[in-house]
Amino acid sequence: MFTRLITAAVVATFAMPAMAQDQSVEKQLFDALGMSDIIEIMREEGIVYGRQIGDDLLGGMVGTEWMAVVETIYDVEMMKTVVAAQMHAELEGADVQAMLDFFSTDRGVRIIALEVLARRALLDDAVEEASKEAAAMASVDETPRFLQVQRFVEANDLIETNVVGAMNSNFAFYMGLMDGGALDGDITEQQILTDVWSQEAEIRENTSEWVYSFSLMAYQPLSDFDLDAYVAFSESDAGQDLNSALFGAFDGLFDDISFALGAASSVYMTGQEL
């Protein structure tokens, strides 16, 4: 599951022709959002997921050859290029300057740093487990900080949108398996869709657990005032447009990656030659 809790840092604008300035602002926004760092972390998460596929689906018999395929699929420069282009398209007509204005403060710089730091820390299984336990306790106690984070999660629709994204990625993976001939010929696309939907409750539970553990960990150092300001921005038109653009930028990428993983898995499952 990939969450798009990404924000921006300081940017600069320059006097230049309108079209060139628009392009510069889009590039500045991509850089300010810390997208390169986040995508590199997502690639690391993807490599771990690919290793799990090798162990669970392919019987752990593929070793370094399979991992080389996974690393090729999660090509970080390709991922950055795709996300940058799609993000540019998704932000057409949006008030990008308002986004930059919000994140050009010290608060914005700190937020992006905390998000990247937390995302990277959660690559460690022990840190992730401790973060989930802390979030579970905060949820049961309904601490003031938990309620603040809950507002943030709801403002950005982080649970529902991530659940839909995860289910679409799972469907794409199955379609990759089907396209590669790894599934029984009697299995239909509708049956695959039904199977994916049967996973919805588990996906929702895992998504909620991850989103809250990440958010509570990332924003713990923020003051109530700063977090309230972040929530208010998220609820604004600019914040909503940014959130929508980020999800839109990643959804297509990860559907394509999931399909490629399914298709690659089918090669090993059917004994085809690479």
pTM of the model: 0.86
Q: Which helix (H) or strand (E) holds 224?
A: helix 224-235
Cα–Cα nearest to 38, from 231, 206, 239, 214: 214
Evaluate if residue 71 carries a pLDDT over 80. yes
Q: If you search the block for the tokens 């990759």, which residue do you land on?
A: 176
Evaluate if residue 1 carries a pLDDT over 80. no
pLDDT tens digits, one per residue of 220-235: 999 999 999 999 999 9
| pLDDT (0 to 100) of residue 127 | 97
pLDDT tens digits, one per residue of 9-48: 222 222 233 333 444 688 888 888 899 999 999 999 999 9
- Backbone torsion region of residue 175, taken as left when φ is above 0, otherwise alpha when ψ lies between -120 and 50, otherwise beta: alpha
Phi and psi at residue 187, to the nearest 5°: -80, 125
| pLDDT (0 to 100) of residue 272 | 59
Q: Which two tokens stand for residue 76?
A: 């970080």
Of 72-76, 81-85, 104-108, 168-172, the poorest mean pLDDT is in 104-108
Evaluate if residue 157 carries a pLDDT over 80. yes
Q: What is the mean pLDDT of residues 113-138?
A: 96
Q: What is the mean pLDDT of residues 198-216?
A: 96
| pLDDT (0 to 100) of residue 24 | 65
Helix 76-90 vs helix 35-56: crossing angle, to nearest 10: 120
